[in-house]
Amino acid sequence: MAVAKGQLRADVAQIEPDLVAWRRHLHQHPELSFQEHETTAFIEATLKGFGPLEVSRPTKTGVVARLVGPKPGPVVAIRADIDALPIQEENSFPFRSENPGAMHACGHDGHTTMLLGAAKVLAAHRDRLHGEVRFIFQHAEEQLPGGAEELVQSGVMDGVDRVIGAHMEPGLPVGTFALKAGAVTAAPDSFTIVIMGLGGHAADPHRAVDPVAIGVQVVSNLQMIVARNTDPQQSLVLSVTRFTAGTADNIIPGSVELGGTVRSFNPEVRQGIPGLMERIVRGVTEAHGASYQFRYLHGYRPVINDQTVTALVRKTLDETFGAQAVVEGAPLMAGEDFSAYQTKAPGCFYQVGSGNVAEGITYPLHHPRFTLDEAALPVGVLAFVSCISDWLKMEEGA
């Protein structure tokens, strides 16, 4: 018989003060992608205090802990991202960021805390595990090429049978979850376009080749890819988010630079976008006597949840929290490098409700006033440990 959910609830409730303390420490000391040195040291030291964990540093700022049970069984990995965003925090609570220009505005402090909590609870039940749990604390989710790929290449997923991960969601109330099989997050690609014209005096535009006017046409025509070149049943976003030009009101610049992002789920759609974009840029610039440079950067793969693993997660969440606590998720156009782990093992990435309207905890991810309801932390821990209990046959009294 698996460990009773009541016992796991009691174990999680007992460490709630730790969860709050860990989360506030992490929130107060955020570090940007590939710079998470103090964060990694804190995680490593905390894990080593839990007892029977094999803790390693496969990358400079990533930590992996292995919990190997005494009996054979599957190997399950749980992943949390640990990096912060380059945002100046605008919250006023005592544990706000002490690092100027860095903030945990995407809930990674919560993700890290939940995984630490799961490691502590499960380490106390090591003798009941049939198999192995790998706790992956991943650096650099927020910046390409991402830390997941680096960790996968280091071998952290070797022998793993399934992988799960979770993300805080302020749009869901505490105590609820959202998950779905299939496409969950999009491939977040980016692009840069430089249009070279001929600068001159703004009073004599006929003597110049105006890259600003040409750039405006490029932006407008790029929207035709979504409107007229893509099957309307295929989700696609193409957003120009940068347009840099000029130094003075009376000078036509010699060049402009455009940049933005493309989001898609379908690999075939994704593959065709760069060619369509460059065809439009080439046509518009040639029509007006300008030239161009075009660079397209492929980002993370889309996160595609495995049908079987997602069904197992849903079953555990239903039994642990009640079916009313679990809602069907919707595909998100945001990007996530959790997809790198799914190239090695089937996995499920789901959302944990962290919002609280009554407390004003409603700001979206990546907002300078984002925060999370700390009551979500034990909920997330219980979800992790319940999945492990169900899958690794943690036996009562073993």
Q: Cα–chain-centroid distance for residue 323?
A: 26
With a cut of 70, say whether residue 395 has pLDDT above it. no
Contacts of 128 by beta carbon, 8 Å cutoff, 6+ apart: 3, 69, 394, 395, 396, 398
Q: Cα–chain-centroid distance for residue 131?
A: 27
Query: Which listed residue (11, 83, 89, 109) is catalytic?
Result: 83
With a cut of 70, say whether residue 2 has pLDDT above it. no
The predicted pLDDT at position 285 comes to 98
Catalytic status, residue 161:
no
Digit-coded pLDDT (tens) for 224-275: 999 999 999 999 999 999 999 999 999 999 999 999 999 999 999 999 999 9
Confidence of residue 203 (pLDDT cuts 50, 70, 90): very high
Digit-coded pLDDT (tens) for 36-86: 999 999 999 999 999 999 999 999 999 999 999 999 999 999 999 999 999
> Could you give the domains of the chain?
5-185+302-391 (3.40.630.10), 187-297 (3.30.70.360)
Query: Which listed residue (89, 141, 169, 374) is catalytic?
Result: 141
Instruction: Pinpoint the alpha helices (H) of the chain.
Output: 5-14, 16-28, 37-48, 108-123, 147-154, 211-228, 267-287, 307-321, 339-342, 376-391
With a cut of 80, say whether residue 396 has pLDDT above it. no
The predicted pLDDT at position 394 comes to 67
User: How far apart are the C-alpha atoms of 108 and 371, rounded to whole Å?
Assistant: 11
The predicted pLDDT at position 6 comes to 84
User: How far apart are the C-alpha atoms of 330 and 311, rounded to whole Å?
Assistant: 16
User: How far apart are the C-alpha atoms of 395 and 375, rounded to whole Å?
Assistant: 28
